[in-house]
Amino acid sequence: MGRPPCSEKKGVKKGPWTPEEDIILVSYIQEHGPGNWRAVPTNTGLLRCSKSCRLRWTNYLRPGIKRGSFSDQEEKMIIHLQALLGNRWAAIASYLPQRTDNDIKNYWNTHLKKKLSKSEGHGVGHDDNEHDLNGVSSDSSSSGAPKGQWERALQTDIHMAKAALCEALCLDKSPITTTTLASQAPNFTRASPVQSSPTYASSADNIARLLQNWTRKSPNSWSPEITTCHDQYNSNSFNNYHQVGSTSTGSPSSGFGSLYNNFNYSMNNSSSTDVSMDDAANFTTQSKHDKGKLMLQDYDVTKPIVKNNSSHYDHQQVHEHEELPPLTLLEKWLFDDVTMAAPPQDDLMMNMF
């Protein structure tokens, strides 16, 4: 008999998070940093399981998350990467640091799958299995996929891991991070003011924005380099949040005001700082067991390809360079529209080295 879901525990709440809960969680993380999720419900009094807290943070409250509709470039990247990596959303998300794996997964399932199946032509009698534009199974690990495809996907992973390592070790080369990756895409703007998602998502986004500078307050914060995007974050952010919170939940809790002041502090002290895409890309979480040491984690672009191939790749070694590995060739390929219809061949990937 397995462990029962945490939500089955007595007094554990399920369902959508309220703005009040978000504030509590954010406030706690602002103080202690993410990690040690098990302690979060206990220490905050939130009636949520640790898992739920972590999910809420990583998917919605974490700074640097972009919400709203996907740009064409993002869409193409996802299609490319999905073809390359299969349904490894976390790996794909690491190339789009502003997007969460959940977001990408949803977008794939709701938009791209249909789009691709349409573009594939009008029912040449293909089955329900998803295929990318190139006819490669979208789920390279699925049992139905031919062995060759699975091996190919694995080999590609290894190649890309090698590329990342190789380039990371090239100190004389100026690194190209997701910053440049993103900057090549005209529509890759941070936190687009035009939010397609209506109420709650945008309110969570506002909290995330407010958090951009929270590390300034937290001496023990795990990511001291994170700075704030002051140009976009004005007090309206919180006001919007407040409004939304009020409408969606009736009325905010009494503790809301003091928390607001708390966040306002951050905003008012953010005027001299700037944020870049690098900040989002470098946004790492501290291992609960490695306090004080930056660790490569989910949203670090050095990690994606090797996530499941750690034996091929020395994370620490790369990290010591304090720079993200360049992805020049991949970028070139990913943003090359011409190659949309032509998958990367093994020999092409091999030529990277």
What is the DSSP code string of 212-263?
GGGGGT-TT-S-TT----TTT--HHHHHHHHHHHHHHHSS--TTHHHHHHHH
Binding flag, residue 8, DNA (CB under 7 A):
yes
Contact between 85 and 91 (Cβ < 8 Å): yes
| String marking each residue 271-300 x if it binds DNA according to CB under 7 A | --------------x-xxxx------xx--
Question: Which one of residues 23, 26, 41, 56 is an interface residue with DNA (CB under 7 A)?
Answer: 56
CB nearer to DNA: pick between 109 and 235: 109
Nearest 10 degrees: Cα torsion 225, 226, 229, 230:
-80
Q: Which residue has the tokens 């009094």?
A: 45
Separation of first and last alpha carbons in the chain:
49
Binding flag, residue 13, DNA (CB under 7 A):
yes
Shortest Å, Cβ 68 to DNA: 8
Binding flag, residue 32, DNA (CB under 7 A):
no
Q: How many residues bind DNA (CB under 7 A)?
A: 60
Shortest Å, Cβ 247 to DNA: 9
- Pick the closest to residue 88 from 27, 154, 31 (CA basis): 154
Shortest Å, Cβ 249 to DNA: 11
Q: How far is CA 350 from CA 8, 74, 125, 141, 157, in A?
A: 50, 25, 34, 22, 11
Binding flag, residue 209, DNA (CB under 7 A):
no
Binding flag, residue 80, DNA (CB under 7 A):
no
Residue 225 CB contacts under 8 Å (≥ 6 apart), including other chains: 279, 282
Binding flag, residue 10, DNA (CB under 7 A):
no
Looking only at Cα atoms, what is the longest distance across the chain?
A: 63
Binding flag, residue 222, DNA (CB under 7 A):
no
Enumerate binding residues for DNA (CB under 7 A): 2, 4-8, 13-17, 35-38, 48-52, 54-56, 58-60, 67, 87-91, 101-103, 105-107, 109-111, 114, 139, 196-201, 204, 285, 287-290, 297-298, 307-308, 310
